[in-house]
Chain A
Amino acid sequence: MITRFEVDETNKMIRQENLDVRTITLGISLLDCISDDLEKLKENIRTKICAKAERLVETGREIEGLYGIPIVNKRISVTPIALVGGAACRTPDDFAEIAVVLDECAKTVGVNFIGGYSALVSKSMTPADEMLIRSIPKALASTERVCSSVNVGSTKTGINMDAVMLIGQIIKEAAWETREHDSMACAKFVVFCNAPDDNPFMAGAFHGVTEGDTVINVGVSGPGVVKAALEHCRDANFEVLCETIKKTAFKITRVGQLVAQEASKKLGVPFGIVDLSLAPTPAVGDSVADILKEIGLEHPGAPGTTAALALLNDQVKKGGVMASSYVGGLSGAFIPVSEDQGMIEAVLTGALTLEKLEAMTCVCSVGLDMIAIPGDTSAATISGIIADEMAIGMINQKTTAVRLIPAIGKDVGDSVEFGGLLGHAPIMPVNKFSCERFVGRGGRIPAPVHSFKN
């Protein structure tokens, strides 16, 4: 029988240490909506999403009530729209119309984000892919809840540098389109290498083509819980430290597994995966940076940060894999800047730089995330930063991503304010030297060898 100690421990995690289920994401395939008539396609999309996701938000609330655990977000991911809209769309503006339909669907069913305004172009772009990418600034500026992503590279295909170059310009355009709102559109767009098909987290969620018609994916969180557990082993050695993280990750993931199973049962939708990521929020005590400090760093960015993050990430996976048979998505520790109060402080104190963040992304999920940079950063420089991050993912066979916000009209010393879960961020300095000739070469970086690993 359950003891009072166990009940107290669970409830303390929920009520004091911000344990929550970060998201229930319903993946919906739109492949059967395809039509060569744009109006028909839009109607099909509207009908399918609204029918499949009708009870998503309500079900989330029921589960919250049943177990007394907050489920912060209910979201939808759909098949990459470049595939769905290819037959019907003749111009980038046609694609942007689909984004508006997705936004309306999100509002109708009550989800706060819908992901999948995406293109998968790791080797090369079809005309539809390119049109979708070119429509991203307009699509994101004219919608509120639509999230967009583009996969520009993979370990198997190499890096599509034409797409990388184009996306540098697109990010600048998206920033300009939303210059009145701190270039907010860029916070809803992410570039990937090795993008997972079943990621429940935004902005990078899309419903992969290898998935079924519908699927439930759940993202758990709980950096506050890990931090609180580590407070009890301040002077302990690495063995005890790792064991503590592992056990805590196990407990957190079990809750995700339970919620996923229940949501799957209640909605009559197959259960896909649990994504066992430590996802911070701007709330105090919900920070991955605080865990790194608890491990023994004065601030994230100090020497030792990469090692500390590597062990954290690995122990989270080890604990989580035992807790759920179907682990997927990104699974690891997120290190966004704007969404983590501790990371913001580290930037403000000068402890954390873009270059150190890049090193940290080699050992954790996902990448350079929610980083505000000066608005006058050139498109080529943005492409260069993306190319670096994609190369890390390609060579290390891991997912990497970039979500940069060139804040128009702002420079180092200023900050941007997105509000809510997206938080606020100080503008970080970017290396001023040019990479224009490098990113302008055109073509593709070949896939790496999978042997001779050093």
Chain B
Amino acid sequence: MQKTIITVVGKDTVGIIARVCTYLASNNINILDISQTIVDGFFNMMMITDTEGCSKDLAKLRHELHQVGQEIGVNIHIQHEEIFEMMHRI
């Protein structure tokens, strides 16, 4: 398993989750956990995903997710889970 964290932040609109999940499904990326909220009209979502089965590397995914984000007007980032584990777990 290769755990990655995807964060989506931006102005709320219809179909953000659908658009992101469609992209992930078409790239064989499994979603392990989703947490999402809306504060003052701003959409904030975090996904924990498994990119083990995906044939693209993280640089490629980052680039494509950035484009998906631009199309729907939100910022999408993908990072390896390790940076969060290192910082917040002893």
Contacts and interface: CB of A to CB of B under 8 A. Distances in A.
A65 interface: yes
Interface residues of B, number: 23
A2 B7 contact: no
B77 interface: yes
A255 to B, nearest CB: 6
Interface residues of A, number: 21
Interface string A1-42: 111101111110000000000000000000000000000000
Given A7-B5, A65-B58, A65-B62, A2 B77 contact: no
Interface stretch (B11-19, B23-31, B79-87): B79-87
B46 interface: yes
A67 B79 contact: yes
A11 to B, nearest CB: 6
B78 to A, nearest CB: 8
Interface string B66-85: 00000000000111111111
Contact of A11 (B7, B37, B80): B7
Nearest to A61: B59
Interface in B38-90: 44, 46, 48, 58-59, 62, 77-88
A2 B5 CA distance: 9
A384 B88 CA distance: 47
Contacts of A67: 79-80, 82-83
A257 B87 CA distance: 10
Contacts of A9: 88
B4 to A, nearest CB: 9
A243 to B, nearest CB: 16
A268 B58 CA distance: 21
A241 interface: no
Nearest to B3: A2
A62 interface: yes
A254 interface: yes
Contacts of A255: 83, 86-87
Interface of A is mostly: helix
Interface string A228-260: 000000000000000000000001001101100
A258 B59 CA distance: 18
A58 to B, nearest CB: 11
Given A68-B83, A255-B83, A10 B77 contact: no
A257 B58 contact: no
A66 interface: yes
Contact of B84 (A6, A66, A257): A6
Contact of B59 (A7, A10, A65, A69): A65
B67 to A, nearest CB: 15
Given A66-B80, A68-B79, A2 B85 contact: yes
Contacts of A7: 5, 7, 46, 84
A1 B85 CA distance: 9
The list of the 10 closest CB pairs from A to B, nearest first, reads A68-B79, A67-B83, A4-B46, A254-B86, A6-B88, A258-B86, A4-B35, A2-B84, A65-B59, A251-B87
16 contacts: A1-B33, A2-B84, A4-B35, A4-B37, A6-B84, A7-B5, A7-B84, A8-B7, A9-B88, A10-B83, A10-B87, A10-B88, A11-B7, A68-B77, A254-B86, A254-B87
Interface of B: 5, 7, 33, 35, 37, 44, 46, 48, 58-59, 62, 77-88
Interface of A: 1-4, 6-11, 62, 65-69, 251, 254-255, 257-258
Given A2-B81, A3-B35, A11-B77, 9 more contacts: A4-B37, A8-B46, A62-B59, A68-B78, A68-B79, A251-B87, A251-B88, A255-B83, A255-B86
